[in-house]
Amino acid sequence: MGAYDKMVAWLQNYWGEVIYLSLQHLYIVAVSSALAIIVAVPAGIWMSRPRNQRRALAFMQVLNVGQAVPKLALLTLAMTLVGVGAPAAIIALWVATILPITVNTYEGLRAVPPHLLEAAEGLGMTPREILLRVEIPNALAVMFAGLRTALAINVGTAPLAFLVGGGGLGELIFTGIDLNDYGMMLAGAIATAGLAMLVDMLCGLAQRVSVSRGLRLAAS
Amino acid sequence: MIQIDNLSKKYGAITAVENVSFTVPEGKICVLLGPSGCGKTTTLKMINRLIPPTSGRVLIGGRDTAELDTVTLRRSIGYVIQQVGLFPNMTIEDNICVVPDLLGWDKAKSRKRAAELLEVVALDPAKFAKRFPCELSGGQQQRVGVARALAADPPVMLMDEPFGAIDPINREAIQDEFMRIQRQVRKTVLFVSHDIDEAVKMADYIALFNMGRIEQFGTPDDLLARPVSDFVANFMGNDRILRRLSLLRAADIVRADAPRPDGGPGSMAPGDVAVSPGDDLRQVLCLMLEQGRDRVACRDAQGAVVGFVHQRDILVRLGDNNATVA
Amino acid sequence: METISFVTSHMDLIVHLLGQHLYIVFIAVGLAIVTGVPLGIVAWQYPRTGRWILACAAILMTIPSAALFGLMIPVLSIWGQGIGVVPAIIALFLYSQLPIIRNTHAAIANVEPALREAALGMGMSAWQRLCKVELPLAMPLIMAGVRVATVINIGIAAIAAYIGAGGLGSLIVRGIAQSDTRQLIAGAVMISVIAIAADYVLAFVQRILTPKGLVKLNSLSMKEATS
């Protein structure tokens, strides 16, 4: 196919640029995801504590609305706030990534059977020990599902970072569209899609490794 | 030894438990018995402060538990609940070692102890130590639950309807298992139940609760033969006299008969059936009724006749409310 | 603010763009329902094929929308449809598949076996059972999937402005190109409002469609419907 040959030729010329843009892309994804996890997991834990129940539900409504906002709009609004460049992209991606992680952390922790908590308390665990040794391990599967969704959203939106000056592989796609250069377009698209699948796969692996074998056996 | 001294729990205007006092001697099982909502579970949970008492004291081994902080207190009390509560994310041996790990015991030492405890509860460590709770049956899980409660070698064990979730067929087996374990470990046990048969079978003492107070505290035979109120009499059942049967053994009633014309002193006549000294009178009476005999021979393990059990003697003994069971 | 004056003075342009935007979304979602619901049913009836169907749909979702456009344009330009409305509708259609298929599958799987047996016992054929028992009971969850697909699509349609599909995203494209903050904000805010409004309206529809007895499905948020 003509386009394929064009892509190969183009890649041979611009391999260095692809690497550079890929690293930029990964940087934005990594930073926004890390920041999202740092905020979302504690937030989810906070929401799941029984005494915070009512406030948690109100908070969930807000988060749900946030999730509906289209990502391009998020990027645009971030750009008007902090100007063009990577920070706008990182902020927008951070907002987009937070919700699934928070919700799943909250739901996962709430789904831990109450009698496990009673047993843990009765045996003499402190609240912190109960959280770390019982609640989180048992909620991990659901939390990882949330993380996986969040990362998919993040990696999926990252190409748009180019539109607000954040760089990344989106440059190849959108510039390719503008210039009608199929080679560039395809290179960008394949690289982006490939990166997305790689991240998803790594997340799946991480999940397999961290979730206790006992829970996997119980679920099957 | 546990001493409960005027323990009370009030929720605003509602009194769940009112001035409950009793003492359980060292190494004995006390069953907290009663209908739903009578306060037995609340009382149990006040001992390890899952429910904070409104007033009163709990003394374990003579020391007031109020002196200890909650977490230390709980780590020194074994706790077994109805739903077992084994942590599905941990192996069986990690589950057993939860409290030792919290206390910072040496890992190798505690894993070895876990293996010993698995043997105590009749589960092969080689097979079960590395498995996960979801791979075990309900009865096996609860046995692990008991092992977990014993892990840090606490002097006291609290059990909240521990065998309630096990099907009736296996329940009897695990009750027998637990009694065997208790003979070995000799813990002071408080055991909540709403099942009279379970209480009569397992308890050294029964505390019968009614609406937040103890109606009667005594041995199972005390409550069966000498109920102090209509409530106790009704709760233990109209057939409570018959329930006393399971508390007595053939050996308690046996007597040597006078020599018979057709054989040596106290020998068996043709058609006589025999029981062992350890058989409980419920089985013996059933046998008598089945075979239509009014006496059975009592034979020891070597086959020698040690005496006879007469139906009349059983009835006399049952009717004598003041004769306590040994 | 200037943005507001921009909006009021260009109202007919904005309405035109809104119309374009909704047109793309509705066609894509409509087509997706037509293919997605039957695929979900098939996925449930034939579990082994079903696993493949769900896996393919899931893989589609991991492809960033911009990448999908980048992949489609060279292919579609063979038929001269490289840019414009066609690739946009196709992309939106593909992205709608997973939520709808997965929710249909889950919804039908969730119908209690006892109900199925009762229906069979009453003498319903498999087809009648599907139409009279399973689909009505599955409707709320399927609606949840449609809702998720719609909201996602409103967002992606905004990006489609970059490949000439029109819609409210054009305001953003032009805003960036011309450094015109008014268009930027107008576009961003309008798209957000439409998306949130769609979410609420469809949640309302979902609630209406829920039979009185199935209260749990009422509270499905967008997140739960996608997980």
Which tens digits make up the pLDDT trace of B83-131? 999 999 999 999 999 999 999 999 999 999 999 999 999 899 999 999 9
Q: CA–CA separation, B183 vs B199, rounded Å? A: 17
Mutate to test the interface with B, among A112, A121, A123, A216 (most CBs of B within 10 A): A123
Those residues of chain A whose CB sits closer than 8 Å to some CB in chain B are 113, 115-116, 118-126, 129, 133-134, 137-138, 212-215, 217-218
Dihedral of CA atoms C35, C36, C37, C38 in degrees, nearest 10, equals: 50
Cα dihedral A115, A118, A124, A128 in deg (nearest 10) = 90
Chains C and B touch (3+ CB pairs under 8 A): no
Judged by CB atoms within 8 Å, which residues 130-169 of A form the interface with C? 145-146, 149, 152, 155-160, 163-164
Strand-pair partners of B280: B249
Q: b or e along B59-93 (b: 16 or more beta carbons within 10 Å of the residue's beta carbon)? A: ebeeeebeeeeebebbbbbbbbbbbbbbbbbbbbb
Q: Are residues B99 and B152 in contact, defined by beta-carbon separation less than 8 angstroms?
A: yes
pLDDT, averaged across chain A: 89
Q: A217 and B132 in contact by Cβ < 8 A?
A: yes
Single-letter residue type at C110: N
* DSSP 8-state secondary structure symbol assigned to residue B222: H
How far out from the chain centre does Cα C47 lie? 24
Strands (E), chain B: 2-11, 14-24, 29-33, 55-60, 63-64, 77-81, 156-160, 188-193, 205-210, 213-218, 274-275, 295-299, 305-310
CATH number for the domain harbouring residue A157: 1.10.3720.10
- For the question of an ipTM over 0.85, the answer is no
**Closest CA relative to residue B307, chosen from B285, B278, B274, B283:** B274
Type and span of the H or E element at B69: none
* Domain B2-245 classification at class level: alpha beta
Q: What is the pLDDT of residues A132-144, one digit of tens each?
A: 999 999 999 889 9
Over range C110-125, report the average pLDDT: 79
Determine the residue of chain A that is closest to B92 in CA distance. A214
Per-residue model confidence (pLDDT) at position A215? 83
CA distance A106 to chain B (A): 19
Residue in C59, C68, C223 nearest the CB of A67: C223
CA distance B88 to chain A (A): 6
The residue type found at A68 is A
CB atoms A124 and B72 under 8 Å: yes
pLDDT one-digit tens code per residue, A54-94: 899 898 888 888 888 999 999 999 999 998 999 999 999 99
Scanning chain C, the segments in alpha helix (DSSP H) are 2-9, 11-45, 47-62, 65-76, 85-110, 113-121, 126-129, 135-160, 169-177, 181-209, 222-226
Least CB–CB distance from A217: residue in B102, B135, B158: B135
Q: Which of B44, B86, B87 to mutate to test the interface with A (most CBs of A within 10 A)?
A: B87
* Cβ atoms of B59 and B65 closer than 8 Å: yes
Region B58-86: mean pLDDT is: 93
What predicted TM-score, i.e. pTM, was given to this entire model?
Answer: 0.81
Beta bridge partners of B64: B59
Which range has the worst mean pLDDT, A180-194, B33-47, C72-86? C72-86
CATH topology of domain B250-319: CBS-domain (3.10.580)
Number of Cβ within a 10 Å radius of residue A11: 17
Annotated domain spans of chain B: 2-245, 250-319
The range of the structural domain enclosing residue A151 comes to 3-219
Whether residues A70 and C66 touch (CB distance < 8 A) is answered with: no
Tokens coding C168: 């409210």
> Which pLDDT does position C220 carry in this prediction?
43
- The conformation of residue B35, written as its DSSP 8-state character, comes to S
Q: Do C222 and A68 touch (CB under 8 A)?
A: yes
**Structural domains in chain A (count):** 1
Cα B271 from Cα A166, distance rounded (Å) = 102
Pairwise CB contact (< 8 Å): A122 & B74: yes
Cα distance between residue C41 and residue A118, in whole Å: 41
Q: Cα angle vertex C85, ends C83, C89, to 5°?
A: 115
Q: CB B87 to CB A115 under 8 A?
A: no
